[in-house]
């Protein structure tokens, strides 16, 4: 029998609400770190004791005076918003006033804080978030929050949490994700009084990712920042810049910051590094993540995924944060508009041009080859650092065909050195993008006859738009074909290959691969130059549709080190 309806005690209400906000040690770390960032911290130290269920977060932010410190853990108390209208122009990471109060309900909470030029104070709080003990304390400017005995009165929650190793990974991922959005912050993380990991500050996220992915170098990443108009549906307002300044400031409009792993240099086995952030916080956005994967399609090897970080700094009126207790998911207004902007940004980042061409990265890439060659010779490379040419001095990259190597590679010269381009896959990239833009089927006269096709093969050919009809016992007549294939002698073999499976995009790849110039085909200088001009204008010139790198750079700076061109004549003669 159901009992009568009655109002829950305040203590029960607080526990229910606290359990939604604070569900693990990682949630405690996340909430305290976000408070530190909202306070303008540029150095954050995190310490975790798993055996004691304790977390301590210390920062060098603005700190609190005694009055604010005593109210810090009260229910729904915050300095971030003051009215209903503020919910539509949120520029801080925290705003609900729930975190500290929830922590106080589930653990023992102590906060020490000091503002510059004032006395420091220490407060402890009861389970209702009320200050119990207050005393003066000597600390550096900033705030130190200590949470002890988490879930001490809620043992079932402790038993239901993941293993210690899993919690470690979650906490590490939490801090790393926040660091991506705030690259100017120094992070020092300890575990049981021992150093765990550190993250050094950088000017941009491009300098943070190599610290998190050890196999990735800075020069493997392409960075791009674009100013983006605010969609008409929203009202253009002030946007707080979180990412690249230790002191936040406001501006008008929106921006898109992209850090992309170049597909010919780095990629992942899983899509775990396709990340999207908005206004200083990493969020889960399946729609935007899928946009990234789609934009990178046919630039990576099979079953590989890109390294990509997108940070949208947009008008607060474009975002509704009240979707997820941890603010990990959002309602983003004008979603299709932002998807289009992301696709265009990725396309621009993958182009080869003066705005995104880095000579240092190319020299580093070929350096290993030169070093290996030097070890086999009678001399050694000079490893002293050289001043690299500024990428902005390169101008428009003009490639001049010089020669063909083994009827397979095109040797091209440009202002900063020379490149080796494999002719087949460069032409394959050109043809593939032409097919993507215009998939043209032309009539076949006479039709091509195929035999012994299975029902699956027939369905596949019809799916990509081919007209096919029975022509006898186990014979079928194909009445049209892709324009690139219809005049080829091996058209029947090509159509049979297309019937073996895949979507239209895979059919276009197969058509481009079969139609491209074969390795071993001699080319004139004019033909090579035409191919180079077509290839460098493609949207994704770095890799072929199968994900193979198309060109190898040999930069003049690297060649100069190899041949010791910096030596004076006397030294080279032993004088």
Can you give the three-state secondary structure of 250-261, one letter per residue? EEECEEEEEEEE
Chain segment 227-247, per-residue pLDDT in tens: 998 886 544 344 444 443 433
Q: How many CB atoms lie within 10 A of CB 162?
A: 12
Most confident of 177-191, 370-384, 505-519: 177-191
Has domain 10-197 been given CATH number 3.40.920.10?
A: no
Greatest Cα-to-Cα distance within the chain, rounded to the nearest angstrom:
105
Residue range 205-232, pLDDT digits in tens? 999 999 999 999 999 999 999 999 888 6
Q: Tell me the residue length of the chain.
A: 575
* pLDDT (average), residues 36-49: 96
Which of 7, 9, 126, 11 minimizes the C-alpha distance to 70?
126
Res 364 pLDDT > 60: no
pLDDT, average across residues 515-530: 95
Least confident window among 266-270, 423-427, 552-556, 558-562 = 558-562
Residue 325 pLDDT more than 80? no
Pick from 177, 189, 163, 158: nearest CA to 56: 189
Q: State residue 260 phi and psi, 5-degree precision.
A: -125, 130
- What's the pTM value of the predicted model, to 2 decimals? 0.81
Higher pLDDT, 357 or 309: 309
pLDDT of the residue at 154: 82
Question: Domain 375-575 falls in which CATH fold?
Answer: formyl-coa transferase, domain 3 (3.30.1540)
Cα–Cα dist 316/86, whole Å: 10
**All structural domains of the chain with their residue ranges:** 10-197, 205-350, 375-575
pLDDT in tens, 493-510: 989 989 987 888 889 999
* Percentage of the chain modeled with pLDDT above 90: 62
The answer, yes or no, to whether residue 257 has pLDDT greater than 80, is: yes
Question: What token pair was written down for 114?
Answer: 């000091």
The C-alpha atoms of residue 305 and residue 377 are separated, in whole angstroms, by: 39
| pLDDT at residue number 241 | 46
User: 562 falls in which pLDDT band (50, 70, 90)?
Assistant: confident
Q: Based on C-alpha coordinates, what's the Rg of the chain?
A: 30
Residues forming a β-bridge with 123: 111, 134
pLDDT score of 243: 41
Q: Tell me what the mean pLDDT of segment 437-454 comes to.
A: 92
Beta bridge partners of 171: none
Model confidence over 450-498: pLDDT tens digits?
999 999 999 999 999 999 999 989 899 999 999 988 888 889 998 998 9
Task: State the pLDDT at residue 37.
Answer: 95
Report the candidate in 129, 115, 118 with the shortest Cα–Cα distance to residue 21: 129
Q: How far apart are CA 14 and CA 95, in angstroms?
A: 18
The CA distance from 223 to 259, in Å, is 5
Of the two residues 163 and 252, the one the predictor is more confident about is 163
Phi, psi of 507 (to 5 degrees): -65, -40
Q: In this predicted structure, what is the pLDDT of residue 252?
A: 52
Rounded Cα distance between 248 and 238, Å, is: 12
Q: Name 364's Cβ contacts closer than 8 Å, sequence gap at least 6.
A: 217, 219
Split at pLDDT 50, 70, 90, the class of 4 is: confident
Indicate the burial class of 527 (C-beta count within 10 angstroms; 0-12, 13-18, 19 or more): middle
Rounded Cα distance between 308 and 262, Å, is: 9
Chain segment 10-31, per-residue pLDDT in tens = 666 665 555 567 889 999 999 9
CA distance 280 to 1: 50
pLDDT band at 566 (very low <50, low <70, confident <90, very high): low
Asked whether residue 575 carries a pLDDT value surpassing 80, the answer given is no
The confidence score (pLDDT) of residue 247 equals 39
Q: What is the pLDDT of residues 83-110, one digit of tens each?
A: 666 655 666 776 666 789 889 989 999 9
What does DSSP say about strands 194-199 and 417-422: parallel, antiparallel, or unpaired? unpaired
Position 526 scores a pLDDT of 96
Please, which pLDDT band fits residue 391 given cuts at 50, 70 and 90?
A: very low
Higher pLDDT, 83 or 6: 6
pLDDT at 91: 67
**Separation of alpha carbons 509 and 404, rounded Å:** 25
465 DSSP β-pair partners: none
CA dist 483 and 468 (Å) reads: 16
Q: What is the DSSP string of 242-296?
A: -SS-SS--EEESEEEEEEEE-TTT--BSSGGGEEEEETTEEE--HHHHHHHHHHT
Q: How confident is the model at residue 379 (pLDDT cuts 50, 70, 90)?
A: very low
Better-predicted residue by pLDDT, 10 or 356: 10
**Residue 261, beta-bridge partner list:** 221
- In CATH terms, 205-350 corresponds, of 3.30.300.30, 3.40.920.10, 2.60.40.10, 3.30.230.10, to 3.30.230.10
């Amino acid at each position: 029998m159901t009992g009568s309806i009655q109002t829950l005690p305040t203590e029960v209400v607080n526990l229910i609400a606290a359990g939604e906000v604070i569900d693990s040690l990682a949630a405690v770390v996340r909430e305290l770190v976000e408070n530190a960032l909202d306070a303008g911290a540029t150095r954050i130290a995190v310490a975790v004791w798993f055996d004691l269920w304790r977390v301590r977060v210390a920062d060098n932010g603005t700190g609190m005076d005694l009055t604010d410190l005593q109210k810090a853990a009260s229910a729904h108390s915050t300095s971030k918003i003051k009215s209903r209208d503020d919910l539509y122009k949120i520029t801080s990471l925290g705003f609900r006033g729930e975190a500290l109060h929830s922590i106080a309900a589930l653990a023992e909470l102590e906060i020490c804080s000091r503002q510059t030029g004032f006395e420091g104070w220490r407060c402890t709080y009861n389970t209702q978030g009320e200050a119990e003990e207050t005393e003066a304390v000597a600390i550096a400017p900033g705030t130190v929050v200590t949470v002890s005995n988490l879930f001490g009165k809620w043992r079932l929650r402790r038993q239901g949490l993941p293993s210690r190793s899993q919690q470690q990974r979650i906490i590490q991922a939490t801090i790393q994700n926040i660091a991506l959005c705030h690259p100017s912050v120094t992070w020092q993380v300890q575990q049981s009084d021992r150093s765990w990991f550190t993250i050094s500050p950088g000017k941009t996220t491009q300098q943070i990712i190599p610290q998190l992915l050890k196999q990735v170098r800075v020069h493997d990443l392409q960075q791009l920042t674009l100013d983006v108009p605010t969609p008409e549906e929203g009202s253009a307002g002030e946007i707080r810049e979180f990412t690249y300044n230790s002191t936040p400031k406001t501006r008008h409009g929106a921006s898109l910051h992209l850090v992309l792993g170049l597909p010919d240099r780095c990629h992942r086995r899983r899509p775990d590094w396709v990340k999207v952030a908005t206004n200083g916080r990493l969020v889960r956005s399946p729609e935007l993540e899928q946009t990234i994967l789609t934009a990178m399609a046919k630039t990576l090897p099979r079953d590989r995924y890109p390294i990509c970080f997108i940070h949208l700094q947009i008008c607060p009126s474009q975002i509704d944060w009240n979707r997820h207790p941890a603010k990990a998911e959002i309602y983003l207004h004008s979603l299709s508009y932002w998807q289009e902007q992301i696709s265009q940004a990725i396309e621009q980042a993958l182009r080869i041009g003066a705005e995104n061409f880095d000579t240092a990265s190319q020299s580093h890439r070929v350096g290993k080859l030169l070093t290996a060659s030097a070890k086999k010779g009678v001399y050694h490379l000079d490893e002293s650092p050289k001043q690299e040419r500024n990428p902005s001095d390169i101008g428009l990259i003009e490639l001049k065909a010089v020669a063909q190597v083994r009827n397979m590679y095109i040797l091209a010269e440009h202002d900063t050195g020379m490149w080796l381009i494999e002719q087949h896959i460069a032409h394959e990239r050109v043809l593939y993008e032409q097919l993507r833009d215009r998939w043209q089927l032309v009539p076949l006269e006479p039709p091509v006859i195929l035999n012994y096709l299975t029902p699956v093969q027939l369905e596949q050919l019809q799916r990509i738009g081919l007209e096919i009809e029975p022509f006898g016992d186990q014979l079928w007549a194909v009445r049209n074909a892709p324009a690139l294939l219809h005049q080829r002698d091996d058209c029947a073999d090509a159509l049979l290959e297309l019937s073996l499976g895949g979507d239209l995009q895979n059919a276009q790849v197969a058509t481009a691969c079969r139609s491209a110039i074969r390795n071993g085909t001699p080319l004139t200088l004019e033909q090579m130059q035409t191919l180079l001009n077509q290839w460098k204008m493609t949207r994704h010139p770095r890799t072929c549709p199968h994900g193979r790198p198309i060109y190898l750079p040999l930069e003049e700076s690297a060649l100069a080190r190899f041949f010791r061109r910096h030596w004076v004549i006397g030294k080279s003669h032993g004088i």
